[in-house]
Amino acid sequence: MFTLVLTVCGFWAVEFAIFHTDAYYTILRHDSSTGSVEMSIRNELKRVRNSPRQVLAVGDSRMGFLPRYANELETGYEFGTIALGGATPRDWYYMLRGADPSANRYSAIIIPMDDYEDVEIDEDQSVRAADLYYLIARLRYSDIFYFVRSYRHDPKLEWAAVRGVVLKGLIYKRDFQEFLLHPTARIQMVKLARKDSYQWNYNYVGPNENMEGVTIDWKNRTLTVPPGFTDEQKAAYEYRFLSPRTPYRGDRTSYMHQWLGKIYERYRGSKTRLIFLQLPRGPFVRPDQPAFNPHSSVRELAAQPGVILLPEHLFESLERPALFIDQMHLNGPGGAEFSRMLGKQVSQTLDAL
């Protein structure tokens, strides 16, 4: 029995020392889901600040906000971003907690929305297993109850979340195995990423490819692509623009109320404003736009102090094929223009308060 206790204690000590501290960050692959989150947060924490008026953006891959273009406007505000491809509102909450531990570093947090109506999507993000992998380095024992309960619609994922937060080595297992195969190359790459990744991201300009030449016949529900586009691309475009909308289930609005509400509660009563915007909808705008929803998550939050809803159609001028690389992502020129427009609008909005 004594030997068993010692073995368990020894295992726990090693698990805690490696995976529950910053130790593993020194060898964590920088472009993994966990590594991308950690790199984004740590770059933001060490970013040099030249103005007390700081603004931070969150979001996923559709948030084509490039702070460099907004900062070049010299509005008096300084912009940063922790937006990350694949990140969800659940991720945004914990990422903001990491980048802004005391909830007092920023004049505003910019939060992008696909729409203001909580339109249903195919995926129920409340049971998105990948969030555990994005957030594992951010999660603490004290998070177990709330984070785990957010998976309440899937008991298997609830248990996986408990197990993962308690025994983080289970989540890092594959990454650690890959490290053991090529430890020297991994360490060199991690050192380079920690040194230069902020500049990689800050100086990113985006691709020049666009959607020009793609045409949609809304009446006959057909889509045509020019030579050079693949069948896979065409299928993705058809799905985005011509497939029936996902029937209402209530999943989306429940999820958005929960996690946007959680972000609001974190900043309630602080100097930080929450600024919501509707992203450019795409290179083409479907004629079957969703009906106005007065009880959507952002519309209800907009009634609260410290919350700002930017004009819904602010970025309509960007909704054209020349500024999109695919059915929903801005290309380089589109991202640059979007970033300037957003930086100017946010600065003017904050100055007017």
pLDDT, tens digit, 9 for 90 and up, residues 255-271: 999 999 999 999 999 99
pLDDT digits (tens, 9 = 90+) for 147-178: 999 999 999 999 999 999 998 988 999 998 99
Q: In what order do the strands lie in the sheet with 307-309?
A: 78-81, 54-57, 108-113, 273-278, 307-309
- In the three-class reduction of DSSP (H, G, I as helix; E, B as strand; rest coil), residue 214 is classed as coil
Q: The tokens of 344 are what?
A: 């100017």
Q: How confident is the model at residue 19 (pLDDT cuts 50, 70, 90)?
A: confident
Q: The tokens of 15 are what?
A: 């698990």
**Are 141 and 275 within 8 A, CB to CB?**
no
Q: How confident is the model at residue 20 (pLDDT cuts 50, 70, 90)?
A: confident
* 218 pLDDT above the threshold of 90: yes
* 305 pLDDT above the threshold of 70: yes
Q: Stretch 53-80: mean pLDDT, rounded? A: 97
pLDDT digits (tens, 9 = 90+) for 239-253: 999 999 999 898 999
Burial 198-237 (b: 16+ CB within 10 A, else e): beebeeeebeeebbeebebeeeeeebebeeeeeeeeeeeb
Give the model's pLDDT for residue 25.
Answer: 84
Q: How far apart are CA 331 and CA 326, in angstroms?
A: 8
What is the Cα 130 distance to its own chain's centre? 13
CB atoms near residue 1 (< 10 Å) = 5
**Are 247 and 120 within 8 A, CB to CB?**
yes
CA-CA distances (angstroms) from residue 14 to 1, 7, 23, 38, 170? 20, 11, 11, 21, 13
* Domains of the chain, residue spans: 2-351
Give the model's pLDDT for residue 14.
Answer: 54
Q: Stretch 319-342: mean pLDDT, rounded? A: 98
Pairing assessment for the beta strands 54-57 and 307-309 based on DSSP bridges: unpaired
Give the model's pLDDT for residue 3.
Answer: 54
pLDDT digits (tens, 9 = 90+) for 1-12: 555 444 444 445
Q: Stretch 8-36: mean pLDDT, rounded? A: 75
